[in-house]
């Protein structure tokens, strides 16, 4: 399941992030990749104390986003990283590590998230390509994000001109099974649509009951 989060950040928040990243220290991104992925990872990643404010900004937006919560059912997140691709840079086909650090522990990576930060007309190339789904490459407006299975092969296509800025992180869901998460997401959307149309009707109550009871059955907490 692939889910788009339109306008996760507003224009003002995107501008604040860009200002923080403008003074960040940038390092070779291959150093944070797994032993096999680092052979195809050509980008830069930001470091420095100002990133804590940047991570907090993104984290607060995620916490308020109902669509993200419904799709990911997050239990834990990895540290939010910020990447930069200049002309000629790319991240070749790879699968993400199954386990990644989240503070003092490691978590299972069920979902990957890319939050786009650059204006679309400011760079060429750099699409997120997922074979079998979005092979041509996904490029979103700044402030919008894509949530997709970390289990999939994917790549960041070469940047031809300009600069591609993004925030990336991974999610461990309370529901391990991808098909189960999709079912719960569908039910959550149906529940919302029924409520907006009919209010707390008998149909809403039945959908809400099914969603809650399936979550009880599938959740790992």
pLDDT tens-digit map of 31-89: 888 788 889 999 999 998 889 999 999 999 999 999 999 999 999 999 999 999 999 99
Residues 139, 85: contact at Cβ < 8 Å?
Answer: no
Q: Which residues contact 23 (CB under 8 A, 6 or more apart)?
A: 48, 50
- Cβ atoms within 10 A of the Cβ of 181, count? 23
| Tokens coding 121 | 């007309």
Q: Using 50 as the pLDDT threshold, list the residues of the chain that sit under it.
A: none
Predicted local confidence at residue 191, as pLDDT: 97
Residues 111, 170: contact at Cβ < 8 Å?
Answer: yes
Residues 118, 163: contact at Cβ < 8 Å?
Answer: yes
Rounded to 5 degrees, what are φ and ψ at 87? -50, 130
Predicted local confidence at residue 221, as pLDDT: 87
pTM of the predicted structure, to 2 decimals? 0.95
Predicted local confidence at residue 37, as pLDDT: 81
Predicted local confidence at residue 154, as pLDDT: 96
Predicted local confidence at residue 147, as pLDDT: 98
127 vs 130: CA distance, rounded Å = 10
Predicted local confidence at residue 132, as pLDDT: 79
Q: Which residues contact 189 (CB under 8 A, 6 or more apart)?
A: 70
């Amino acid at each position: 399941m692939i889910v788009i989060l339109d306008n996760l950040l507003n224009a003002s928040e995107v501008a604040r992030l860009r200002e923080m990243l403008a003074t960040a220290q940038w390092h070779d991104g291959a150093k944070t990749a797994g032993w096999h992925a680092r052979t195809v990872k050509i980008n830069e990643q930001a470091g420095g104390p100002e990133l804590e404010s940047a991570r907090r900004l993104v984290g607060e937006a995620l916490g308020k986003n109902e669509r993200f919560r419904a799709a990911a059912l997050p239990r834990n997140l990895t540290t939010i990283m910020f990447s930069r691709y200049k002309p000629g840079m790319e991240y070749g086909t790879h699968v993400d590590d199954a386990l990644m650090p989240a503070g003092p522990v490691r978590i299972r990576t069920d979902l990957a998230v890319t939050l786009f930060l650059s204006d679309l007309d400011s760079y060429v190339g750099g699409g997120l390509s997922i074979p079998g789904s979005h092979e041509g490459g996904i490029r979103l407006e700044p402030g919008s994000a894509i949530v997709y299975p970390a289990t999939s092969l994917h790549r960041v296509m070469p940047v031809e001109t300009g600069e591609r800025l993004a925030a990336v992180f991974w999610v461990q869901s309370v529901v391990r099974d991808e098909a189960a998460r999709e079912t719960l997401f569908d039910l959550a959307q149906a529940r919302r649509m029924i409520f907006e149309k009919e209010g707390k009707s008998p149909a809403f109550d039945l959908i809400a009951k099914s969603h809650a009871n399936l979550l009880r059955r599938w959740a790992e907490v």
